[in-house]
């Protein structure tokens, strides 16, 4: 058998990933949460500062923060803390305003982590085998062939290690998304100046007076002419009575 044939046989054998044993790993869970708070008017900046101080005190950091100054002002933050401090972060942040929405979830990725670790170990073992074969290569074609195999495996290894790094980060640090808003102001309602349809949808303040009932309004509308007539008669009667008294005094 020629040396080239031997190297080819070894390279072919190394292409099959060797079986590796991965030690048992503790359960790995990705914990995430979403929290919506309504804070007092004009206090959004203050609450953002308090949340930042809270997360730093829990050995975490603010991943990103956005604020809108357009009325009504709002703010959103993404907070990350070690898994052990996630519950404390959620409970403490909830005291900074009125909680309108809170959701938390956990995703078990233990099997995915074990699978990644096994693939990485297998590829690393194959690369080591190719490196040993490379030391025995004597011709340029053999060297190039082995190096090509090593480059392909190294590319796969880099991708898997990148996935493992992201997974380790997600399971080491929990993520809480916080949204801040202010109470909504009720629109000012000027009933006398609104069209009839809009006026009907505009709520009244305080108890509804009796004059607001449809029956009362219809009675007032029907008796309006009579009421004006009676007032005019009363005024004329009063003028006549006063004139009669004046005339009587002059006669006496």
Any bridge partners for residue 176, and if so which?
33, 79
Q: For the segment 90-101, what is each residue's pLDDT rounded down to a tens digit? A: 999 999 999 999
Instruction: Report pTM.
Output: 0.62
Q: For the segment 61-77, what is each residue's pLDDT rounded down to a tens digit? A: 999 999 987 888 999 99
CA neighbours closer than 13 Å in the CB half-sphere of residue 17: 13
Query: Average pLDDT of 141-146?
Result: 92
3 vs 6: CA distance, rounded Å: 5
Exposed / middle / buried, residue 50 (Cβ in 10 Å: 0-12, 13-18, 19+):
middle
Q: For the segment 175-204, what is each residue's pLDDT rounded down to a tens digit? A: 999 999 999 876 565 555 555 555 555 555
Measured between alpha carbons, how far is residue 97 from residues 80, 104, 117, 176, 191 in Å?
20, 18, 43, 16, 34
pLDDT value of position 65: 94
Instruction: Judge contact between 35 and 107, C-beta under 8 A.
Output: no
Listing DSSP states for 42-61 in one string gives: T-HHHHHHHHHHHHHHTT-E
């Amino acid at each position: 058998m020629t040396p080239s044939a031997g190297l080819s046989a070894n390279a072919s054998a190394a292409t099959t990933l060797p079986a590796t044993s991965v030690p048992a790993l503790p359960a790995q869970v990705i914990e995430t949460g979403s929290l919506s708070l309504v804070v007092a008017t004009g206090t959004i900046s203050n609450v953002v500062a308090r949340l930042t101080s809270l997360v730093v005190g829990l050995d975490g950091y603010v991943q990103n923060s956005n604020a809108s100054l357009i009325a009504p002002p709002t703010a959103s933050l993404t907070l990350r803390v070690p898994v052990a401090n996630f519950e404390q972060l959620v409970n403490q942040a909830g005291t900074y305003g009125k909680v309108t929405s809170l959701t938390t979830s956990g995703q078990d990725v233990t099997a995915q982590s074990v699978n990644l670790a096994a693939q990485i170990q297998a590829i690393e073992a194959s690369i080591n085998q190719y490196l040993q074969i490379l030391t025995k290569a004597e011709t340029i074609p053999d060297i190039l062939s082995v190096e090509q195999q090593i480059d392909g495996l190294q590319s796969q290894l880099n991708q898997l290690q990148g996935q493992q790094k992201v997974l380790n980060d997600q399971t080491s640090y929990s993520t809480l998304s916080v949204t801040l808003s202010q109470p909504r102001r009720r629109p000012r309602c000027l009933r006398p100046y609104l069209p009839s349809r809009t006026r009907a949808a505009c709520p009244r303040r305080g108890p509804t007076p009796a004059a607001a009932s449809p029956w009362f309004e219809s009675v007032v509308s029907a008796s309006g002419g009579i009421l004006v007539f009676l007032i005019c008669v009363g005024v004329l009667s009063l003028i006549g009575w006063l004139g009669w008294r004046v005339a009587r005094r002059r006669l006496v």
